[in-house]
Structure formats: C-alpha cells, structure tokens
Amino acid sequence: MSGTPGEVAILGAGMHPWGKWGHSFVRYGTIAARAALDDAGLDWRQVDSLVGADTVRGGYPGYVAGATFARALGWQGARVTSVYAACASGAQAIGTARAQILAGLADVVLVVGADAAPKGFFAPAGGDRPDDPDWLRFRLLGATNPAYFGLYARRRMAEYGDTPDDFALVKVKNAAAGALNPRARYRRTVTAEDVAASAVVADPLRLLDICATSDGAAALVLSSMEFARRHGAAAPVRIRAVSTVTPDYPRTVLDLPDIATDSAAAVDPSPVPFRTSIARAAYEEAGVGPGDLSLAEVYDLSTALELEWYEDIGLCPAGEGAKLVREGATALGGRIPVNPSGGLASFGEAVPAQAIAQVCELTWQLRGTAGERQVPGARVGITANQGLFGHGSAVVAVR
C-alpha cells in the first residue's frame, strides 16, 4: 500500500456539469469541491492545503483562486496556492498539490479549477499590450483561435493527406461518448453529415469541428499514500507522474500565440517536438509507455488537433492519426479509447478546470465507475494538454 515513490492517492473527484449557466465561477468551483470532498469521504476541515487554478476573466478574485475557494468553503486555516498556466493551469495545480504532499507539507490537498467563459472565441486582455504575444497575434494577424486551428488542419492535409472526412470522424466519436456522460454540455450523437452541414468557421474546419467555450468546474482531493491507508482507501487510483515541461530552443514550428519561429541557423532543433516531449516526460517519470495505456484524455480544441495528439502521445507514428480514427481504434470499444469523457467536443473549454476534469475522468475509468462509457479493465491512463506560452500538461494515473 506504500505505493511507488512519487505517487499520491486520488481520494475524491468532483465536477460541476459544463454548460452556459450564467453564474459565478466561484459557485461552480465550490460545488465541484464539495462533490470531490463527498467522494473522498472527508470534511473540508480535514484539508491541509487548497490549490486553485486561476480564472483570469473572473475579475480580481479569479487571480487568487486558492483563497477565493477557501473563503467560499469557509476559512479553516488551510494553506493556499493560486496558479495560472492558461489551459495547463489544472495540471500545474495538480503538480503543486503533489509536490506539497511528497514534501511532507500536507497530507490532504484539494485542487479546484472553475470558469465562467465568455460567449464566442477567447480574446486577449483589453487595452494596448504590445509586449503581449497573445495581443499581438490578434492585432497583427487577426489570428483568432479558430483561425489557428484551421491552419493546423491545413498543415495535416498538406503533410499527411488527412481530409475533412477524417476530422469529422473525431467529432462523431467524441459526441457518441459525450452522449453517455451526464456531466457533458452536449449530449447528443452527431453524424459525419451533420459535421459537413455545419457552417465553415476556419476552412477546412466547420462549427462542429471546433469546441465551444463553457462554464464548468472540476476538483480533486489528493493525499499521501499513508493518509489513504489510514483513511481506509485500500487501493486508490494514484497519480504517478505530472509533466509540466517547457519547449526546447529553437522552436521551428509555429505555436500559438507566437507569430514567428526561432532561428535554427546556429542551434539544431530538438529531435523531440514540444508536444511529444510533454507526454514523454510523463511516461519516463511514471515508468510506463504508450503500450501500457488503457485510455487517454487529450485536448481536442479541434478535431484535427486530436489526431495530432494521437501521434504526440505515441499511439501511432506521425501522420497516422487519421488511420486510427478510421479504424475505430480510439472510439469506445476500440483498442485504445481516447476522450471517453466526450472531450472538449462534448464539454467545451472551461480553461482552469480542463486538465483537472481530464484527471477526474481517468479516476472514474480506473475505478471502473464510468457507467456506460466505461473502458473495460482500465489500469493506466494519461492526459495531454497544452497551455499558451509554452506550458506543458500531462498526468499519468494508475490503478
């Protein structure tokens, strides 16, 4: 029961359903936190530390999410930490909580992320911000997120021969899984014809190829393995690795929000691209590989980006992601289900909560409590995600 060095137990997982509810992110996060505590069988007063993933659009309280959620739950003296890493904020929050537990600073840590997202695509912070690369790519290029996703899709079409029909299959697969998930925002199946009939947003991507922006929240209760044993959790799901790596210089592939690459004239590029390095670091820390996986939760901002993640996490060689989805290998019932939760295609983006929600899904799958979307015999899962400004995000959980 002592576990592998570096492991921490997941005692509780909780979420607020995704949607457009019109309430404060604090409300969503508090509900998710209480659900995670109930799942763990713990009282909030037993928590030693709270790590909050920041909600930058939520006004001043959003920038101090740890204290915001501690106050909402009721001051009880716990230490607090607030983190921001764009879409990787949840993974950094999990990594911070894990570090506190392994350092002996806390036995029980609550991790919370929540958002109340604006309608439409995300825009940069207001005002003139010429030192902000996110502001620059909007101002100089008009490169909204959907435009960027479309460029990624075009590159796959040019390099690998992927087609819009391949991209549509990703949406069909994820919608089928999301229809089985009571926490998902979109809970209806979709056909390839539905995707093809939806409006073009950023050619070749259509409306149903791109995820929405959503309200939602997710929370985890993490503990030391010793506390889990004392608490009566004989065989908890464990987090074995958290990867929050940054890119290697030089970067020779454009990556949002950058609008130029580094020069490779004097320094050779790394043989391992950034996104591949995110998962690789997690595998190395966990002592597992792609062949050990039972499932994966990846960051499907668009259908084409999900195909890229198949390659980045080692499920297939570069250029063969579309082959996997055509074969049904990544669907529920397939060889290696990807996004059995329904993914962002079914949830939409609630930025600080996303990486935490991915680990919630791993938890339920590894416990065998995922209901109709259960992956049989799930033992090892990985999440993969990426935040602006070079933030990696991957978590390996095992049972």
Residue 124 has pLDDT above 70, yes or no: yes
d(CA 114, CA 200): 30
Tokens 């454009």, residue located: 254
Q: What is the rounded CA–CA span in Å between residue 30 and residue 36?
A: 10
Write down the mean pLDDT value for the chain.
Answer: 95
Angle at 359 between CA 3 and CA 61, to 5 degrees: 115
Q: Which of 159-168, 247-256, 276-285, 344-353 has the lowest mean pLDDT?
A: 247-256
Helix (H) or strand (E) holding 65: helix 65-73
What is the separation of C-alpha 395 from the centre of its chain, rounded to a whole number of angstroms?
Answer: 9
**pLDDT tens column, 372-382:** 999 999 999 99
Question: Given the structure tokens 């004392």, which residue do they identify?
Answer: 230
| Nearest CA among 292, 387, 306, 304 for reference residue 340 | 306
pLDDT on residue 250:
93
Query: What integer is the mean pLDDT of 197-219?
Result: 97
* pLDDT tens digit sequence for 133-157: 888 988 888 889 999 999 999 999 9
Rounded to an integer, the average pLDDT of 56-71 is 92
**Does residue 399 register a pLDDT over 60?**
yes
b or e along 332-360 (b: 16 or more beta carbons within 10 Å of the residue's beta carbon)? bebebbbbbbbbbbbbbbbbbbbbbbbbb
- 1 pLDDT exceeds 60? no
Q: Do 150 and 205 contact (CB within 8 A), yes or no?
A: yes
pTM over 0.95: yes
Q: Are strands 79-83 and 215-223 parallel, antiparallel or unpaired?
A: unpaired
